[in-house]
Structure 1
Amino acid sequence: MQKKIFSLDEHQIFLQGPVVVFKWKNVKDWPVEYVSSNVEENLGYKKEDFLLNRIKYGDIIFEDDLIQVSNEVSNYSLSERNMFEQEYRIVKSNGEIVWIYDYTTIVRDENRAITHFYGYILDITKHKRNEEALRRTEKLNTIGEFAAGIAHEIRNPLTSLRGFLQLIKNGQIKEEYKDIMESELDRIESILNEFLILSKPHLTQYNKKDVHVLFKQILPLFETQATYNNIQLVTEFDLDELMINCNENQLKQVFVNFIKNAIEATSNGGVIKIECKKEQNELCIRFIDEGSGISEENIKRLGEPFFTTKENGTGLGLMISFKIIEEHGGTIQVESQLGIGSIFKIKLPFC
């Protein structure tokens, strides 16, 4: 018995699918010259309403997205590209607003002038909803991690304070208790202040500054501590001005944090070198120490909230530093070897 062979009409298969094809003119509101037959099934509009110019393609774009879509089309049109991709919202015939992915091909005449666009659009609303749900979940997880971290960090000094208060109630009053209690309260305040810096949005004012000047102001703060720990602070700066657009106080906070960390890591004495050089049109600042080093596993976690390799650290200082450098358009890279030392490298754009 001979098997029956079925021939598949690719065009029909395409028209039964979710991708709707439009061809519109490159004039105001984008009147439609062609639309695939599945437009009614997918968007609810009748094909003839587009072809008879009752509805133009610009009419179905959600009004809040129309300016953005128009600007993007104009920008892409000025380039030599022959296609581009967009994501925006359109309004179906029943009033439902849906997200679409639009793959657009540009049609040009013999003079390279744009005459038409072909758009292949696909409803991605479910995908967008899943993305938003994932973002909400990640945000809740982050809040949970922060809350757990703060509770853990504050619980330790609170436990200590409760213990000393109990001793005082029992009549055991010593002057040294007051100093310890004050120190623990300062620690709680420091943790909360660092958390507020991370969580509070604020407008930052940027000014042109020479990095030489910033280091000249902060390095004397560490001279006594470095001498006491048998550490030599060495600087190697380019002689030319190294001007960057920055918030002076924020960058000082980052530099102070890195120098402080380097001194704490170099507990057995040694050299801490700070380099400031111009490299490939960027400012490159290196903090090089001969300390204990950081394992490869821990390097990957640097900048995470409440992750620290220090006994009394919170991890928030480094996290704030990463955030500040990112807001300045820069990057931080870390190289380290256990028992040899670490290099923290900051790259920042010049003015």
Structure 2
Amino acid sequence: MKFISKHTAIVYLIISLVWITSTDILIDKVDITDKLYDNLQFIKGVIFSVVTSILIHFIIKKHNAHKKAEENNNELSILINSMPDFVSFKDGKGRWLKVNDFGKELYTLENIDYVGKTDTDLAEMVPFFKDAFLYCVKSDKEAWEKGVLSRCEESFPVISGEIKTFDVIKVPLYDEDNNRKGLLTIGRDITQLKAAETMLLRKEKLSVVGELAAGIAHEIRNPLTSIKGFIQLMKESKQSAPKEHFNIVLSELDRINQIVSEMLVLSKPQSKTYKQFQLNGFINHVLKLTNHEALLYGIELDFINKSGNPKLYGDSNQLIQVFINIIKNSIEAMPKGGTIKIVTEKNSDRINISIIDTGHGIPKDRLERLGEPFFTHKEKGMGLGLTISNKIIHEHKGSMEITSEVGVGTRVKINLPIYNME
């Protein structure tokens, strides 16, 4: 604006001098009366005043518009700098235009001229964040390809050594001709939230293990009774024990070891490991873990396979927790015993897994609130089972639907994608 004002003043001065000089020369050359001369001078002055007024009006209008734009820009800067989130603007070619104070501090850009630089340039200028900047190149490309608001999670180490996780929203902007205009990126620090989720997931998992302990203890007590009996028999017998007795003892010890190993796998905190696995083997493993508790309540678990044996992809340990939670709820809803059906059905490229009980059912008002954090009618538990289960299923690109009728029973239908190797 200062350049425009200075430039305009020089042009105005030159035009004014040319106008005054040239009109005076023309008027002096013409043989006219004094009265006409005075009239021409007056007209010249009026024209000069009108043009000057129009020019001053234009300058004032331009100045006010610039001042307002500057005020808006300052307000916007104050707003984004006061935000506890990362905010950045890039042009259509991925060059940084503006980043708020949070972003400067996060990437240590306070003393770096980042304007006009791409993520690739900044990766060389700030080597510590090289991987983070190069990942931004990839995520920005994906955002442009989608052409609409996109959301993802990004994790990277910061100067303090902590691993930060951000919930990132990218908004691609286009001009009237649908050309790339800019990219707005907003990142919210969810590191503490993810840590809290992990802790709650671990607590809920351990809670499940604790509640299953009664069934496991009952299952372990049976082989222990057999072992104790044979040991006492061997001790009292004056003859050497038959080989079959040793085989039975070893077999029962192996059985105990298997039960304990299954519980350790379930309770052990593990990082997410996504890989393919067979559906039938997965369901049978869940049934082995829950069958102990079901037997205590006189409940039979019936696996009805209508889908063959498709492959799924995901973290089987997390999905095991989901199915155990659901089956446990069904067991608790059937104090008089009965049968819980686990039915698998193939639906195009997805699989439906239904857990159906004949328990007392769930009233409509409670059914609507199922899945809300800390909503529970149990004396024990934190009310996080279904909340966490929903989250796990969602992360596996699936869905969970619960239908129930009081006095009839409850059906929980989980829909997951079938793994396609192509």
TM-score by length of 2: 0.42
Q: Which has the higher strand share?
A: 1
Q: Which has the higher helix share?
A: 2
TM-score by length of 1: 0.49
Radius of gyration: which is bigger? Answer: 2
